[in-house]
Amino acid sequence: MTRKNTPPSKMQSEAPPAPVQEQVEETPFEAVASICSVLVIGLFILTFLCQNFVIPSGSMEKTLLVGDHLLVDRITLAPPAGWMPLVRYREPRRGDVIVFLKPGEPDMFLVKRLIAVPGDHLHMRNGIVIINGVAQSQPLAAPTTPDNYRDYLDDFPAVPMSADLGATEAWAVTMPDYVKDGDLIVPPGKYFMMGDNRHNSLDSRYWGFVPRENIVGRPLFNYWSFKTPEDQYEQTGLANSVSWLGHVALHFFTETRWSRTLHVIR
């Protein structure tokens, strides 16, 4: 007996049509909400966690150069906060590079190296820093030579500071109160800062101790460095700003210090 062949089209059910994917367009309100979310997160990071700073002077050469752009950790050295229990907090240590607010000028940020902590006895002899009777090895600091020796800087605090030497009047008056047996004694809650470019740095030798509450943070790394004249950041005016932006755009590739990109600060 023969079987009548059924056409394949009759044996198999027809495949269901592919679903039509609808494209949902983002509404203007949703777009604005997304942008605001990014801005809020960025503002939170820049306000509480990290912040960018640019180096305007040569007081920390060769560690930091004019035109270095730093990302600064604002949280590690901050007072511990209960709302961020996973953050590792610590106190500032000798040798840390620190960003802080200059004493007496709350709108001026400075960056220096922390030399002495509360309770330390400090003096300098021919440019060598001596803490608690022990000479410190500071290979990143500019050395003292017969050509750059200055007694009130290199044998601090043996030579009394005065306003005519560049010290602030308040520090020139109060510094002797902290000197005992030739040592400057750092009081509780205060820190002593110096620039690595020791003979071109207005630091604690000129204006005194930095209070703990003035410490902002610690630079992590240099995310961009551009060759910049030391007086550039002192220039004001719209014309100068536009001219400098044009210079940066024109010479971005040739005057960026590529070897310092993502350079870790130590």
pLDDT per position as a tens digit, 151-178: 999 999 998 777 767 788 889 899 999 9
Q: What percent of the chain has pLDDT over 70?
A: 78
Residues 7, 12, 16: CA angle, nearest 5 degrees: 135
**Candidates 9, 10, 37, 59; catalytic one:** 59
112 is catalytic: yes
Residue 31: pLDDT over 60: no
Partner residues linked to 134 by β-bridges: 131
C-beta separation of 154 from 143 below 8 A: no
One of 9, 10, 62, 112 is an active-site residue; which one?
A: 112
What average pLDDT does the chain have?
Answer: 84
Q: Which of 82 and 47 is assigned the larger pLDDT?
A: 82
CB 122 within 8 A of CB 116: yes
Is pLDDT above 80 for 9? no
Please determine, for residue 185, whether its predicted confidence score (pLDDT) is greater than 90: yes
In the chain, where are the structural domains located?
50-264
Task: Assess whether 59 carries a catalytic annotation.
Answer: yes
Dig out the tokens for 102 from the structure. 């200059």
pTM of the model: 0.79
| Annotation: CATH topology of 50-264 | Umud Fragment, subunit A (2.10.109)
- Predicted confidence at residue 48, as pLDDT, reads 46
Beta bridge partners of 97: 113
Residue 137 has pLDDT above 70, yes or no: yes
Task: Determine the Cα–Cα distance for residues 67 and 61; give it in Å rounded to an integer.
Answer: 11
**Cα–Cα distance measured from residue 104 to residue 95, given in angstroms and rounded to the nearest whole number:** 24
Residue with structure tokens 């990302």? 71
Structure tokens at 166: 């560049």
On whether the CB atoms of residues 199 and 150 are closer than 8 A, the answer is yes
Helix (H, G, I), strand (E, B) or coil at 101: strand
